[in-house]
Amino acid sequence: MTFPWAAFAVNLAWAAGAALAVMLVTFAVAVRKGVHRIVDCAWGLAFTAVALVTFVASADHGDPGRRLLVTALTALWGVRLAVHIARRGRGHGEDPRYEDLLAKAPGDRNLYALRKVYLLQGALVWLVSLPVQAAQYVTGPMSAWAVAGALLWAVGVFFEAVGDAQLARFKADPAHKGRIMDRGLWRYTRHPNYFGDFCVWWGLYLITCDSGAAAAVSLVSPVVMSLLLTKGSGQRLLERRMADRPGFAEYAARTSGFFPRPPKRTVSRPRTGARR
């Protein structure tokens, strides 16, 4: 099975252009509205744009079934994520993360945001989307790798969508204000949405594994995404903000930080009059 390197190289340029276009349009809208948090909606839409552009560009090269599968999975994930983030942010002001970042701007805040947020996220979309691009240039028919990848993708979307919905319902109840969400999937992992993202991108990567060349060139994608989710702007940053919230330390002590598992049993100390 020969991988069409020349055509794939051209596609890398098309993908970069698609990601950049989405980010620049989003930047223009954000400047007009005066709120840069909408860039989070562009994250999923940029991946969708890359998948669609690659689907068109790879028409004469890759296996039609694999091309359609990868494009559909990426678009479903990306559009769902964009819609969820848009609904969550409706009626809110600037995201505290971007407020903190823009407070450090040495000059024009919008140009600083363009460099530090939009162009950076566009570059990450291009890098992380490598399996979405490479898989569509694999010429042979799909095998068990593709089935395993689609199943892992489905597990990921389940954790993301159900976890997001559970958290939204929890926050909508005024009685839960200030409390830590520890129900449903959040009982088994402190970050079901991040774990879901992890599964989605490793699943898309598995679909490339029918070709050794495609798998090799795109391995960096799930590795980078895993690091972002656990060490970068995901789990670490969020938990740093939540560390001082009442009940979080106890929740963290009994609940897995990433991979789902049954919560640890908390042993309550017997109450006596003696002090240690």
Share of the chain above pLDDT 90, in %: 79
Q: What is the pLDDT of residue 208?
A: 97
Q: Is residue 265 in some structural domain?
A: no
Q: What is the pLDDT of residue 276?
A: 28
Whether 273 shows a pLDDT value over 90: the answer reads no
Q: Is residue 41 in some structural domain?
A: yes
Q: Is residue 259 in some structural domain?
A: no
Domain hosting 246: range is: 5-254
Q: Is residue 163 in some structural domain?
A: yes
Q: Is residue 92 in some structural domain?
A: yes
The sign of the dihedral angle between the CA atoms of 101, 107, 111, 115 is negative
Q: Is residue 274 in some structural domain?
A: no
The sign of the dihedral angle between the CA atoms of 137, 227, 161, 15 is negative
Whether 250 shows a pLDDT value over 70: the answer reads yes
Q: What is the pLDDT of residue 274?
A: 33
Query: Do residues 11 and 54 touch, judged by C-beta distance below 8 A?
Result: yes
pLDDT in tens, 174-214: 999 889 999 999 999 999 999 999 999 999 999 999 999 99
Q: Which of 234, 206, 242, 32 is nearest to 131 (CA)?
A: 206
Number of domains in the chain: 1
Q: Is residue 86 in some structural domain?
A: yes
Q: Is residue 260 in some structural domain?
A: no
Read off the tokens for 6.
Answer: 């020349």
Q: What is the pLDDT of residue 163?
A: 97
